Amino acid sequence: MKTTASSCRDACGPGDDAGARPAAPSTFHRRPLPAQLVDFSAPRGRVLLTEALAAGTAEAFFPLVAHLHTQAEPAWCGLGTLVTVLNALQIDPGRAWKGPWRFFGEELLICCKALEVAAAEGLTLAEVGCLAACNGAAVAARFADAETPASFRAALIDSTRAAAGPFLVANYDRAALAQTGAGHFSPLAAWHEASDHALVLDVARFKYPPHWVPVDMLFTAMTTDDDASGRSRGWLSLTRAARPSWPAEAEALAARLAELGAPVCAPPP
């Protein structure tokens, strides 16, 4: 498939100006959802969710939507998705977010790739998986060019039937869904059997609302190549790991050393 960049590309760049008037606006308020996708809050979108809930294939919806996070930067779709999923998995980050509260925000995802580099370049599927593993998740990565629509659908069904994980993170090319932009990450929250649609909880909520996508179309969007990694896109299956995140382990060790009277170096911010 055509190679496209790894970044979310949700800034006001050339890709977002395609088809605009000669005097293109410098700012944007949302984007219209393509006709082949179904707005989560539209009448049909509500019917799809109601039927998926009744069928037991929207169990992932409530924990994910309760923690749905809008990405803080245009290229931070991978980070915003991880904040959503790690908090939905009830993982303790082991260090404070604000005040006394331990809760994931993008600024706590500090391993694998510097935040300023991620802000400029975005993240690959492997890098998002690395960040998830560093922060207390067990990760299974699947590259779409080595999978089939049937294997993706099976993983989606397993995920959407589980309220405590595994949760699926999709990495796909927006252009293949007739959206503006390029590479993107978002969690998947439900599957509607009769229409074979998946519910994408888009973390770029400033741009698109949560929406239903035909499963075959979403799979095709994941088979596109990421020029940053030289591989196809795909999906991650995330569960809560048996052991805590490495920052939590570091803080626990520091506390124990302090109890023993040993000198302790301050952990990184």
Residues 96-123 have pLDDT tens digits of: 889 999 999 999 998 887 888 877 788 9
| Active-site hit among 184, 192, 197, 211 | 184
Q: What's this model's pTM, rounded to 2 decimal places?
A: 0.84
**Which of 10, 173, 202, 226 is the catalytic position?**
202
The three-state secondary structure class of 249 is: helix
184 flagged as catalytic: yes
Q: Is 202 a catalytic residue?
A: yes
Q: Which of 77, 173, 211, 226 is catalytic?
A: 77
Q: What angle do CA 65, 59, 68 make, to 5 degrees?
A: 10
Q: Which of 233, 152, 239 is nearest to 191 (CA)?
A: 152
Bond into 166 cis (ω within 30): yes
Residue 77 among the catalytic residues: yes
The alpha carbon torsion through 250, 253, 258, 262 (nearest 10 deg) reads -100
pLDDT in the model for residue 111: 83
> Which segments of the chain have a pLDDT < 50?
3, 11-21, 263-269
DSSP-derived secondary structure letter, 212:
E
- How far apart CA 187 and CA 190 sit, in angstroms, is 10
**Domain architecture of the chain: domains with CATH:** 36-259 (3.90.70.30)
